[in-house]
Amino acid sequence: MGTWGTGPFDRDSVGDFVDAVGACDSAAATALVHAALECVATGPGRHYGGEAVAAAALLAIQLPGGGAYTGNEDGLPALPAFPAELPGLAMDALEVVLHGGCDVSSGWVDPADEAQWRAGVIRIRSVPAAA
């Protein structure tokens, strides 16, 4: 069983995703981020949303006001400049996540942890909206 917390990068599997993004060239990193977002934003059924939340957070870091939403981005790899259309896709994916379309939006044992996680996702979603 993996571990998770309330931040966008606080899941074991998300750490693997972020490592994979950091190990790729710019085109492959962009493709990984796009795929994580598109799967949740447009795919039918329930999805694993942890990678989509992390992908949206990676995008938000590059936007005005996005670097200050979380305190644990210090260990992130260097990232390519992502295409301008990805923030809109990120907002769509986070809407699905926030409305229960993904596993990460359910299963919280502590309501305070769920509220903290949800507030963090809303904060990430607000960065592309303000840009």
Q: What is the pLDDT of residues 82-113, one digit of tens each?
A: 998 899 999 999 999 998 878 888 878 899 99
- The DSSP bridge partners found for residue 47 are 102
Residue 49 structure tokens? 């949303």
What 3-state DSSP class applies to 24? coil
Give 82's strand partners: none
**Structural domain boundaries in the chain:** 12-130
Strand partners, 102: 47
pLDDT of residue 40: 93
50 closest CA partner among 88, 79, 20, 9: 9
Contact between 94 and 125 under an 8 Å Cβ cutoff? The reply is yes
Q: Which amino acid is at 113?
A: D
Instruction: Name the pTM for this structure.
Output: 0.89
